[in-house]
Amino acid sequence: MTFNLPPGLALQKVDERIMTLNVGPQHPGSGHMRIIVQIDGDYIVACDPDPGYVHRGEEKMAEYRNYITNIPHLERPVIHDSCNILYPYVLGAEEILGIEVPERAKYVRVIASELNRCIYIMYWLAIYGIFLGHSTMFMWPAGDRELLIDLMEKMTGARVTHAHFVPGGVRNDLPPNFEDVCLRQVNYFEKRIKEYAAVFYDNPILISRTRDTGILSRQDAIRYGTTGSVLRASGVDYDLRVKEPYDVYDELDVHTNVLKEGDSYARSKIPWLDMMESCNIIRQALQKMPKSGSVRVKLKPNPKGKGLNSVYKRVESGRGSLGCYIVSDGKTEPYRVKLSVPSFRNLIALPNLLRGEKLGNMPSVYWSLNYWPVEADR
């Protein structure tokens, strides 16, 4: 008996030993995505990640809104890293609209971006902890995150979706006495995250669970095009804040954390080291920031791009390099906005990492890739 199958579909032979398991999309351990895993007993034979369940057409929506009203919806893919996902769009829109940003606004943006990076990583770390069954590591980051959310609330007026960056600077100036409050809370935050070492990162139970699982070699990490913490955990010294400094990062002293192992443990440790680096950057920025001055250039109500023009800007977000490509045809709306997101690029490494692993290690290896489903689908 023969079937005429539509293109793209294929019949699969059912093996006696191999079982196909769908993890997700309604599974709490996968997020809004499905991982199709084929297992032989307890060992993973093949794995096929299947993203796309939360695609909402952000790029198409951006073609129907002007440069300012694009801001609230473009930060929705990663609401707890919303300053960083807006950053490349705002930098690109400034170049297209021909705006020069005040010096103080650049420092305020760096502080907001670093605070937001910490907020994202704490959320990520909380879920990484609970995936490994370590409920203390779920409670502590979720609580300590509040210190920084409180700062962002004072700074921008919103707890998660800030809508703080605009082409031409930031929406509002810092509140009075913010520098002192920020310094105090960031110093305490740094002291707190150093305590995580004894409970989590030096814990022999965690090390035995995550050491030598899901190893990504240096060559593979470069070949797959992974970015951010995944790339740095595989021994590649690459951070856009150092290699392609934007705004005022060239005036600040940024140290890149690199580990050579490339396993799940190294990938989970890099974001934690990054948070301490973020605290350093915030302290430097608070010191070097001009104490007064404008933070926003006054724009016309509906700014227009200058002729046919295109620009590509990228920044280092909490997950890796995040790019934004904007094409303008001289109207008030952009002709095309393309987001190049780190989550999607890191996901490509997943099938290779899981082959030969035990099924119980799947959640920790998957989440160590610093993957956020909504951002990948955008």
Partner 1 sequence: MGTATGIIRALNSGIKHLAVKRFTLRYPEEKLKFVGDGYQFDPSTGVGIAGLKGRHMLFHDHCTGCQLCSIACEGVAEAIAMVKVPEEQKQNKKSIMPQIDYGKCVFCGLCVDACPFYALYMTNDYELSSFSKEGLIYTPAQLQVKPYVAQDSEIQISDRGATHG
Binding site for partner 1 (CB under 8 A): 64-66, 68-73, 136, 143, 146-147, 150, 153-158, 161, 163, 171-176, 178, 184-185, 188, 195, 198-199, 202-205, 207, 294-299, 301
Tokens 């970015």, residue located: 227
> Could you give the maximum distance between any two Cα atoms of the chain, in Å?
80
* Nearest CB to partner 1, comparing residues 50 and 261: 261
Alpha carbons 295 and 161: distance in angstroms, whole number:
20
* Nearest CB to partner 1, comparing residues 36 and 299: 299
Minimum CB separation of residue 164 from partner 1 in Å reads 10
* Nearest CB to partner 1, comparing residues 146 and 251: 146
* Nearest CB to partner 1, comparing residues 42 and 202: 202
* Nearest CB to partner 1, comparing residues 108 and 273: 108
Alpha carbons 294 and 286: distance in angstroms, whole number:
16
Where helices occur in 64-135 by DSSP H, the ranges are 70-74, 82-97, 103-131
Minimum CB separation of residue 56 from partner 1 in Å reads 14
Minimum CB separation of residue 172 from partner 1 in Å reads 3
Residues 302 and 332: beta-carbon distance below 8 Å: yes
Paired with 21 in beta bridges are 37
* Nearest CB to partner 1, comparing residues 8 and 301: 301
Minimum CB separation of residue 64 from partner 1 in Å reads 7
* Nearest CB to partner 1, comparing residues 33 and 155: 155
Alpha carbons 17 and 150: distance in angstroms, whole number:
53
Using the 8-state DSSP alphabet, how is residue 245 labeled?
A: -
Minimum CB separation of residue 163 from partner 1 in Å reads 4
Minimum CB separation of residue 1 from partner 1 in Å reads 55
Write b or e for each residue in 52-69: b if 16 or more Cβ atoms lie within 10 A of its Cβ, otherwise e.
Answer: ebbeeebeeebeebebbe
Minimum CB separation of residue 155 from partner 1 in Å reads 7
Alpha carbons 19 and 108: distance in angstroms, whole number:
53
Query: Where does residue 374 rank: exposed (0-12), middle (13-18), buried (19+ CB within 10 A)?
Result: buried
